[in-house]
Structure 1
Amino acid sequence: MKAGLRENIAGLRPIRGLLTAVTVSRSAVMLFPFYGVYLATDRHELTVGTIGLIVGMFGIGSLVGDFASGALAARMPEKRVAIVGFLGVAATVLAISVSTELWTLVALTAIWGFCYELVNPIAYTMVSRAMPEEHRRFAFAAVRLAINAGMGIGPLIAGILFKVNPELLPWGTAIGYLASAFILARARIVSISQPDDEDTSATVGDDGAPARHGLRFWTFAAATTPIHFAYALPTTVGSVYVIHTLDQPAGWVSAIFAVNSFMVITVEIALNHAMLGLSRRSTLLIGYACATAGFVFMGFAPAATWLLLAATAVWTLGEMIIYPVMPDHISAISPNRLKARNMGFYTAHYNLGVVFAPLVFLPLLDELGAVASWSLVGGLLLAGLLTTAVISNSTRTWGVDRPRQVPALVEA
């Protein structure tokens, strides 16, 4: 019998400490949203160009952290890697608060980004090890809720602290991350025994499956590249599109993020609970279709600005479906020894989208206009949808994936 929503929420008990630590840490992301203005206010000798260089190093460090997470997890327990990441952020932001030399700030910001991003793939890996397969997707949705709730709280607190005294921002961040490290250190997160993909594949006659782990992962990564590109656009170019291209007030930018945040916080858990009986293939294709429609609709905003909010609601629906099922699928196709590495590559894949999406899209927007540019994004997503539909029809490139009835959870 399928578990009810309340039972599924109760079943998150094995990762309750991790969810709490993630929420607290994201609520402590206070310095970064104000980092540029913090440097400009406190380091008068820095030019705008050098501040841009310093802030940009955070992204470089984040990418390195994604790629390094698997190697670190192979040498120490994953929980310890996450704790090191939390402590690293706390130590680094305090060091930044007393540093004045340019290259010291550059190096410290890169280390900060490294430690910050190190936690993300490790958290996903811990979920994949602690939760049974039939409940993983719901657990990943819970992690996203923890992240988004924290990211809503952090900038709000940061704005208050900045008005009082900008020097409080590093201390607020450090205290929050120290608390997160303490919470995670005290948490008891037990990895359940899960067979590697070799074992599950063998039971359905998928001979030679061990040689196909790499093929499945990289094929999936290629098929989902359009997702990472498209979903990087609202945060990186949304304000430019609304204010510069549409010549609308900044309030519309705030409205887009408000609609997105409200839906994610209030709907995502229930939506993923309702879709637990669907296969990963069906879930991803539905999400892909919502994303395609939503981003195409973004291009019609010049005709009616309110379409921005309607489009946001549609692509947010896709986001809430897609982003829990992607790490769920990666968990399913990755043998135990490669879970942390593949989760690191997955989060790096997303961050690469953040880096390259605005570089490609803004020139297109300037040259082609709104309708054509967003239609190209929709076409790219449609190509990804069709590619996913093709590769998911073969166990060689997709693995074993069938609809399932989710049993009631037993509380730990």
Structure 2
Amino acid sequence: MLNISSLEHDLNTKTQTTHLLKAAEKHVLFTANRPDVVMASGEGMWLHDTEGKTYLDFIGGWAVTALGHSPAVLQQALAKQAATLVHASPGFYNKPQIEFSELLTSISDMDKVFFTSTGAEANESAIKLARKHGALHLNGAYEIITLTNSFHGRSLAMMSATGKPHWKELFAPKVDGFIHVPINDIDACFAAVTNNTCAIMLELVQGEGGVHEVSEAYLYGIRKICDMYGIVLIIDEVQTGLGRTGKLFAYQHYGIKPDIMTLGKGIGGGFPLSAMLTTNKYDLFQPGDQGGTYTGQPLAMAAGLAVVQELVERDLAANADRQGSYLIETLNELSHTFPITKVRGKGLLIAFDLPEAMAPSLAALCMSKGLLINASSSSTIRLMPPLIVEQSHIHQMLNLLKESLQQLTMNVG
């Protein structure tokens, strides 16, 4: 029997989506090739669009929604703080800022924290602090050594720090003072150090760059170079921090400690928030050196405090380690049947390669089946699910991935 009510509902939702997409095309500045989908709501591992379609989310807002979508603890923290104090001024302390600072420094073995809103801002703060150290203690040294294929953000300075080859000429001229060297090549890094070097900055797992990890020997060598020359070691944990790699911080896998560490993405569980942490030795800024309207903003501080407390109390870093190991194991098994190669990653930051630039097509096909994955390049798929993921979600993901791979390889064949 024809369900008129259901047909009317479907027509209304499609009309609404069409209207929204036309409005987006007219009013939203074009910066990305987005699919014709408008996301409307989410909970846990799932997203829902305006037409009622559900998606299993293995992108996690680019490793942002660490607790899943719309977690209760974040809702409650935002509502409570919004009713108390949304914003005062960065010229004053506020209670959640102090409490959050205490928590972050205690779990990270760092001493001081500066809060910002984006990963790029946190990394800018780290660069400024390293250059302050260079000005005070290294005869004005200002150059930062970073790695090829790295990603540190989208401000002009952080685009200059980033080692993406195709960004080299974009928005030229670049900000001066960044030297790029290959990952895991300690000789190249050593050779790049000059009297102008004030810091070495790196991701321990290059997320945007395709999930490539630095080796333990390489990182020990970097730490040794920094100690030898008195230069700053900056570890960018914007993507890897707060449980993503199976420990609270990726540097804890290696047994070394950074001088400066940056955090972002998962720190706010979806609320815009980032942080730069350092030790007492590098507490060098003077009033006016660094700041920002939203640094330490009460609403953001309450959000971050609630999210990080939940991450720690539920030991979601351990869950990331368990589920990540299981996911890598099952992907390796899948590689016996499908053209998946070089399965790699740490915790729940995982990637694999595909032949023939198939990654965008696979991501699109998976999305049509209700699975969100990221094509980080033409031949690489990246997976960054929320840290609350369970084996049942992994099984659902694998079934949809297998269906898509089978269909795609059949079409290619």
Give the TM interval when normalised to the shorter protein: under 0.3
Using the size of structure 1 for normalisation, the TM-score is: 0.26
Using the size of structure 2 for normalisation, the TM-score is: 0.26
Q: Which has the higher contact order (CA 8 A, sep 6+)?
A: 1
Q: Which of 1 and 2 has greater Rg?
A: 2
Q: Which has the higher strand share?
A: 2
Q: Which has the higher helix share?
A: 1
